Amino acid sequence: MKISKQDVLHVARLAELAVDDAELETLTGQLDRIVEYVAQLEALPSEQTATSFHPGPAAVRLRADVVAPVPLARPPEAFAPAMRDGLFVVPRLGAQEDA
Amino acid sequence: MTPSTVAVQTAERLTAAAGLNATLDWSPELLATEATAAEAIGAGALHGMALAVKDNIVTAEQPTTCASKILEGYQSPFTATAVNRLRAAGGMVACKANLDEFAMGSSTEHSAYGRVLHPMNPDLVPGGSSGGSAALVAAGVVPAALGSETGGSVRQPASFCGIVGVKPSYGLVSRWGLVAFGSSLDCISVFGDTVARSARVLEAISGHDPQDATTFEREPLAPFVPRTDLKGLRVGLPKEYFPDDLDPAIRAGCNRTIALLRELGAELVEVSLPHTAYAVPTYYVLNPAEAAANLARFDGVRYGARRVGLAGDLRALYQATRGQGFGPEVRRRILVGTYVLSAGYYDAYYARAQQVRRHLALDFQNAFAAGVDLLFTPTTPSTAFAAGANTGDPVAMYLADVFVCAVSLAGLPALSIPIGRDQGLPIGGQLIAPFMQDGAMLAAADVMERHLDATGEVR
Amino acid sequence: MTTTWETVVGLEVHVQLATASKMFCGCSTTFGEAPNTNVCPVCLGLPGALPVPNEQAIRLATRAALALECTVHETSVFARKNYFYPDLPKGYQISQFDQPLATGGVLRCESPDRGPLAVGITRLHVEEDAGKSLHDRFPGLTAVDLNRAGVPLAEIVSEPDLRSPAEARAYLTAIRQLLVFAGISDCSMEKGSLRVDANLSVRPMGQTTLGTRTEVKNMNSFANVERALEAERARQIALIEGGGRVQQVSLLFNAATGEVRPMRSKEDSHDYRYFPDPDLPPLIVTQAWIEGERSALPELPDAMRARLASQYGLSAYDAGVLSGEVAIARYFEAVVAAGAEAKASANWIMGEALTDWNVLERFPVNPGIMAGLIALVANGTVSHQAGRKVYTELSARGGDPLAVAQHLGLVQVRDESALETWVDEVLAACPAEVGRFKGGEAKLMGFLTGQVMRRSGGKADPKGIQVVLVRKLS
């Protein structure tokens, strides 16, 4: 077993995903199966290291510093789940968590 | 036919095909609006062509759901570059097409809005994740459609449905407005009833976009130069794609196509892509890692369906919104992706997979550098499978991508064309070209298409 | 025996790069707009939006790195820093991680305890800012404004080379001066364009390994950085001397109470799962481009201080004050260029003009007029004292220095007969002092001169008074 229930709960918290007890068992099994499967990458001879690869352009093209936002066909109010006085609102964070 | 006539007829066909469950949002009224705009444009490469658009490509006129409950009711305030370009060429958006939630899947069973049925047999899947787009083209509802590929999500359903599916070179088509899944892999891709029509659509949507830093500074793809045969072309057959245990029908279909390639004047050579066996595991590390970050924005703060009210707790809001809003496959990928990036595991999984990705890309480069112009392989290891066949084991589902995902990791252009049938079900053959040789690949496929008996039984 | 404790401080400074548009989108960086109006698909983190980096932000960050004597790397990589927070629209911040834009620099500043100090700069990288969370706007809610989400920042991390809260403040003063000089940022803590996080640990004097450090946040002025670090140093020393151990935590400074208190420790908050942002190819800058930016750097504070001292023969102190800000130095040099003597110009600017500058943030008396005033004092037309009155008038209402001096009746009287009249009156009025002077108390000359000056209403030329006095008393 590469993945334990604790691992699943740990990454679920990092990913802010609720995982209920009923599905924890199944999910742990599936994740273990997936991680076991991808772990075969370890079998590749270690002398075969290389730099990472991205198929896009070799260098990023920069944008001129011009104020030209992509227009919104409708304002945030049209899609926000909750907004007051133009501000998105969510339940308050613990006061000491603000950084 | 005028765009308006096309629009009316398309609406009739969409209504008649409702049983496929291939469409998400569409309406005759929106189609009429599209027709009016197309008529105002007049001429254009896609004049009067109605296309289905996979619902992970944003359009400002209607909802974009990614077939996920988390985006229920979301209407994008901007439109994808590819859609803007379709319209500028006189094309019309016929409908938003169903898909695996956030394009994660190979069967279009993982949609919050129900699975898409295979047009030839309702018990089968059309492939995925662009199954809605594929089914609509295969059913003759639209002549072409936009899908998206991350690891074969257009070629694989094209193969299952017996149509043409073209994945362009990475960075040839703008991703602006394509809801990101695996950013280093994602390509808006095209389905068509023919190679030529697919090529026209791809030409219209291709080219540099200043809004997407991963597009190349290139002109749009030029129309390919039609050829009468394949004389002078060297076609490589990667031995790793023809394993001993390859399905006999798939092998028969490929053999028939290889014979045709030879008849058309191509020289066939065996090549080796030695890291092929690592492609699927590499893909299923990198893709979830990128997906986990790309899907972090669906947090219920700024848009989308929120599960907890303002009286609740912020973390509960996040966890319930995401836990209930995402389906099982999406959650699996997010968890795997988070795991492979997390402290202590990054080097073993993510960093390792990045290195293997380089080897996979080098395999292709070496093959092409050795004088091969194109590669030919089967697109899928089987014909369309039954709904429910692979939903119990995620890894079994991932293996449906075995012949398509190395290409995605390498960013190369590839396409699937129908090469025959087995017990009435389509078989697809895959052409793979060097980077940015999309046009040469389309020209070769066009010749093949004219000579292939695409609907004949292969054995 | 009591242990002597050494304090070790390293600083992380975030400065907003002075661009017109955001780091990865075309939204304006203007401060103070209505909430969520400077937003677009990119900085709202909408599905389908993609980042494209701002060239000017890279340029400014490069200049900052060069001003800090860093090595600017030809290849650097944008990375995603993953965490959830309501003001972080994408669920990750685009930053730079293992391949930053620049590394290995130095900031020179003056330690109040140790003299000239060269503080190591570990790295400088480019990133985007988060939005603003307002916790007190609506009861029980956190409200989010994304106008500043995506604003370009440079993060500058120092080595743990600072040894006191006062040194930390000196570092901040110097880095702000440098970055403002170089045109990187306006570095206003008030507007949030400069923010500081400080890492502090203590260790017994002589120990070479570092103690456990804490991170102090939420300081809104340089003075408060110093106060917060003093409080944290005291807290750590008391903790250790009481037998406790320092925990590696983040603390918030409360300016009202002067105390630091731990933030609620966020479980897992340090596993940011950095990885290269697949939406952004590597940032490549050529050596030639870097050199171009180096030559585009304006004169920096150290160089300017040295030049003012040598070119104008000023003291180190005067040169330091005049090079405190580019505008002050520019004004000084303009006054000298208009014909005033350098040392006198320095004195007049430091004595008078800087008072205006500190209030008005401009110099109300133009350099030519200022030079004219300095000349009037230098040639004795008005006294130094009277000159200050003329300055005040010029500053408030403008005008020509001589005309103003005349209008105010401040032009010195050198006419011998007028001087004699005042001297005679004083000698008649002060027979005792005259007697003592004649008896050998030479220092009473000063008293008598002052009396004549007063009688003249400040208008008499002091040199002329002395000449007449000496003649009358000898």
pLDDT band at A2 (very low <50, low <70, confident <90, very high): confident
Q: What is the C-alpha to C-alpha distance for residues B292 and B250, in angstroms, rounded to an integer? A: 35
| Nearest neighbour of A61 by CB, restricted to B184, B217, B296 | B217
Tell me which amino acid residue B151 is.
G
A33 lies within 8 A of chain C by CB: no
Report, as an integer, the average pLDDT of C380-398: 91
Per DSSP, C413 falls in state B
Other beta carbons within 10 angstroms of residue B328's beta carbon come to 16
Cβ of B357 within 8 Å of Cβ of A3? The answer is no
Q: What is the C-alpha to C-alpha distance for residues C350 and C328, in angstroms, rounded to an integer? A: 10
The distance of Cα C426 from the centroid of its chain, to the nearest Å, equals 51
A72 lies within 8 A of chain B by CB: yes
Among left, alpha and beta (phi > 0; psi -120 to 50; other), residue C354 is alpha
- Say what the pLDDT of residue C474 is: 78
A93 lies within 8 A of chain B by CB: yes
Choose among B375, B361, B372: nearest CA to B430: B375
Contact C102, C116 (CB under 8 A): no
| Nearest neighbour of C55 by CB, restricted to A52, A65, A94 | A65
Reading the block at residue B430, the tokens are 């895959």
SS3 A54: coil
For chain C, the residues whose C-beta falls within 8 A of a C-beta of chain B are 41, 44-53, 80, 82, 84, 86, 89-92, 140-142, 144, 146, 271, 273, 275, 277-281
Report, as an integer, the average pLDDT of B189-216: 98
A12 lies within 8 A of chain B by CB: yes
Q: What is the C-alpha to C-alpha distance for residues C103 and C69, in angstroms, rounded to an integer? A: 9
Please report residues of A whose CB lies closer than 8 A to that of C34: 86
Angle between helices B328-341 and B279-294 (to 10 degrees): 100
* Tens digit of each residue's pLDDT (9 = 90 or more) over B91-127: 999 999 999 999 999 999 999 999 999 999 999 999 9
Tell me which amino acid residue B158 is.
A
SS3 C114: coil
Q: Mean pLDDT lowest for which of B57-61, C225-229, C454-458?
A: C454-458
Greatest pairwise CA separation for chain A in angstroms? 59
Cα separations in angstroms, C257 against C13, C224, C254:
24, 11, 6
Instruction: Please tell me the distance in Å from C124's CA to the nearest CA on chain A.
Output: 19
How big, in percent rounded to 5, are the helix, strand and coil portions of chain B? 40, 15, 45
Contact C100, C127 (CB under 8 A): no
Instruction: Please tell me the distance in Å from C143's CA to the nearest CA on chain B.
Output: 10
**What's the topology of domain B3-205?**
Amidase signature (AS) enzymes (3.90.1300)
Q: Is residue B244 predicted with pLDDT exceeding 60?
A: yes
Q: Pinpoint the alpha helices (H) of B152-245.
A: 155-161, 195-205
Contact C91, B294 (CB under 8 A): no
Cβ of C278 within 8 Å of Cβ of B290? The answer is yes
* Tens digit of each residue's pLDDT (9 = 90 or more) over A34-64: 999 999 998 887 666 788 899 999 999 999 9
Angle B346-B349-B354 from CA coordinates, rounded to 5°: 95
Please report residues of C whose CB lies closer than 8 A to that of A56: 281
A41 lies within 8 A of chain B by CB: yes
Greatest pairwise CA separation for chain B in angstroms? 72
- Say what the pLDDT of residue C10 is: 98
Pairing outcome for strands B164-167 and B144-149: unpaired
Cβ of C26 within 8 Å of Cβ of A70? The answer is yes
- Say what the pLDDT of residue C456 is: 85
Please report residues of A whose CB lies closer than 8 A to that of B285: 38, 41
Cβ of B78 within 8 Å of Cβ of A70? The answer is yes
Other beta carbons within 10 angstroms of residue C5's beta carbon come to 18
A55 lies within 8 A of chain C by CB: no
Complex prediction ipTM: 0.97
Cβ of A76 within 8 Å of Cβ of C268? The answer is no
A13, A51, A52, A60: best to mutate for the C interface, most C CBs within 10 A: A60
**Phi and psi, residue C41, nearest 5°:** -55, -35
- Say what the pLDDT of residue B295 is: 98
Q: Pinpoint the alpha helices (H) of C339-430.
A: 342-348, 354-360, 367-378, 384-397, 401-407, 416-429
- Say what the pLDDT of residue C63 is: 98
| Nearest neighbour of B213 by CB, restricted to C47, C90, C281 | C281
**How much of chain B, in percent, has pLDDT values that exceed 90?**
94
Q: Mean pLDDT lowest for which of B63-77, C61-75, C328-342, C444-458?
A: C444-458
Cβ of A72 within 8 Å of Cβ of C41? The answer is yes
Other beta carbons within 10 angstroms of residue B391's beta carbon come to 17
Please report residues of B whose CB lies closer than 8 A to that of C144: 301
Q: What is the C-alpha to C-alpha distance for residues B25 and B204, in angstroms, rounded to an integer? A: 24
- Say what the pLDDT of residue B247 is: 96
Per DSSP, B450 falls in state H
- Which residue do the tokens 């003291």 mark? C315
Chains that touch A (3 or more CB pairs under 8 A): B, C
Choosing among 3.30.70.2860, 1.10.10.410, 3.40.50.1370, 3.40.50.720, the CATH entry for C416-473 is 1.10.10.410
Q: Is residue A8 predicted with pLDDT exceeding 90?
A: yes
C275, C277, C283, C284: best to mutate for the B interface, most B CBs within 10 A: C275
Instruction: Please tell me the distance in Å from C19's CA to the nearest CA on chain A.
Output: 7
Pairing outcome for strands C194-204 and C5-16: antiparallel
- The strand pairing partners of C12, in sequence order, are C157, C197
- Say what the pLDDT of residue A96 is: 39
Cα separations in angstroms, B237 against B219, B375, B406:
31, 6, 15
Q: What is the C-alpha to C-alpha distance for residues C171 and C113, in angstroms, rounded to an integer? A: 13
Please report residues of A whose CB lies closer than 8 A to that of B303: 79-81
Please report residues of C whose CB lies closer than 8 A to that of A89: 138, 141-144
Cβ of C273 within 8 Å of Cβ of B341? The answer is yes
Q: What is the C-alpha to C-alpha distance for residues B166 and B187, in angstroms, rounded to an integer? A: 10
pLDDT band at C347 (very low <50, low <70, confident <90, very high): very high
Tell me which amino acid residue C39 is.
V
* Tens digit of each residue's pLDDT (9 = 90 or more) over B126-158: 999 999 999 999 999 999 999 999 999 999 999
* Tens digit of each residue's pLDDT (9 = 90 or more) over C230-255: 999 999 999 999 999 999 999 999 99
pLDDT band at C269 (very low <50, low <70, confident <90, very high): low
Which long-range contacts (C-beta less than 8 Å, at least 24 apart) are formed by B319-323? Answer: B319/A16, B319/A17, B319/A18, B320/A18, B321/B70, B322/A15, B322/A16, B322/A17, B322/A18, B322/B70, B322/B298, B323/A17, B323/A18, B323/A19, B323/A20
Instruction: Please tell me the distance in Å from C270's CA to the nearest CA on chain A.
Output: 10
Reading the block at residue B145, the tokens are 């459609």
Q: What is the C-alpha to C-alpha distance for residues B347 and C275, in angstroms, rounded to an integer? A: 11
**Across the B/C interface, how many CB contacts are shorter than 8 Å?**
105
A14 lies within 8 A of chain C by CB: yes
Contacts with A, B 217-246, CB within 8 Å? 217
**Phi and psi, residue C143, nearest 5°:** -105, 140
pLDDT band at B281 (very low <50, low <70, confident <90, very high): very high
Q: Which residues of B are catalytic?
A: 54, 129, 153
Angle B326-B328-B329 from CA coordinates, rounded to 5°: 100
B206 preceded by a cis bond (ω within 30 of 0)? no
Cα separations in angstroms, B178 against B182, B220, B438, C248:
11, 18, 21, 42
Angle between helices C462-473 and C444-455 (to 10 degrees): 120
Mean pLDDT of chain C: 94
Q: Is residue B164 predicted with pLDDT exceeding 90?
A: yes
- Say what the pLDDT of residue C266 is: 54
What's the whole-model pTM score?
Answer: 0.93
| Nearest neighbour of C91 by CB, restricted to B78, B211, B297 | B297
Q: What is the C-alpha to C-alpha distance for residues C429 and B2, in angstroms, rounded to an integer? A: 116
Pairing outcome for strands B414-422 and B425-432: antiparallel
Reading the block at residue C310, the tokens are 């040598």
Tell me which amino acid residue C242 is.
G
Report, as an integer, the average pLDDT of C322-346: 95
Cβ of C142 within 8 Å of Cβ of A14? The answer is no
Domain ranges of chain C: 5-290, 299-407, 416-473
Reading the block at residue A77, the tokens are 């109010």
Cβ of B278 within 8 Å of Cβ of A82? The answer is no
With CA atoms as reference, the chain A residue closest to B287 would be A38
B302, B314, B336: best to mutate for the C interface, most C CBs within 10 A: B302
Please report residues of B whose CB lies closer than 8 A to that of C266: none
- Say what the pLDDT of residue A48 is: 67
Please report residues of B whose CB lies closer than 8 A to that of C273: 292-293, 338, 341-343, 346
Please report residues of A whose CB lies closer than 8 A to that of C137: 85, 87
Cβ of A69 within 8 Å of Cβ of C39? The answer is yes
Mean pLDDT of chain B: 96
Contact C156, C15 (CB under 8 A): yes
Instruction: Please tell me the distance in Å from A6's CA to the nearest CA on chain B.
Output: 12
Q: What is the C-alpha to C-alpha distance for residues C452 and C435, in angstroms, rounded to an integer? A: 17
Cβ of C140 within 8 Å of Cβ of A91? The answer is yes
With CA atoms as reference, the chain A residue closest to B354 would be A52
Per DSSP, B240 falls in state G
- Say what the pLDDT of residue C155 is: 98
Q: Is residue C1 predicted with pLDDT exceeding 60?
A: no
Q: Is residue A99 predicted with pLDDT exceeding 50?
A: no
- The helix (run of H) or strand (run of E) holding residue A90 is strand A87-91
- Say what the pLDDT of residue C416 is: 84
* Tens digit of each residue's pLDDT (9 = 90 or more) over C141-189: 999 999 999 999 999 999 999 999 999 999 999 999 999 999 999 999 9
B56, B341, B346, B408: best to mutate for the C interface, most C CBs within 10 A: B341
Per DSSP, C61 falls in state H
The per-residue DSSP string of C236-293 comes to: HHHHHHTT------EEEEETTTTEEEEPPP-TTTT----EE-TTSPPEE--HHHHHHH
Angle B434-B178-B157 from CA coordinates, rounded to 5°: 60
Q: Is residue C267 predicted with pLDDT exceeding 60?
A: no
pLDDT band at B391 (very low <50, low <70, confident <90, very high): confident
B359 lies within 8 A of chain A by CB: yes
